[in-house]
Amino acid sequence: MPDTNRFQVLARPKMVHHRATVGSGLDYVEFFASHEAEDLRIWRMAAHDLVILFDIVESSELVADLICELHEGTSVPLPGDYSAAQLVLLGYRVPVRKPPRPASLPRETHSVKLCPHVP
């Protein structure tokens, strides 16, 4: 039975322009993961962290080509599809939702002594 919880990933480079030198360099990469009709999941990875791709994508030569294209400013789709665990390796973090706050209870404006013999 095929795994239906697989994601396609697109890497989009974000360049930083250097005033001191001519041209621009890779600042970070935005990753977009999609699953059929599911909304895109977006996260960022610093340019120097792209070496993690060597642990995820099968071919080292392909990873080197992908990183070169990103450094040139070209968006690239990662080959194949990826599990949620692989997305976490790529830097995706599952959003943490804060638990709901308890309903506010009316507060007493005066203090009440529970133990009258304790000062």
42 contacts 31 by C-beta, under 8 angstroms:
yes
Asked if the model's pLDDT at residue 109 lies above 60, the reply is no
Calpha distance 18→21 (Å, rounded)? 6
Specify the pTM. 0.68
DSSP 111: -
- 4-61 pLDDT per residue, tens: 688 999 999 999 876 666 667 899 999 999 887 676 778 899 988 888 888 888 889 9
Is the pLDDT at 1 greater than 50, yes or no? no
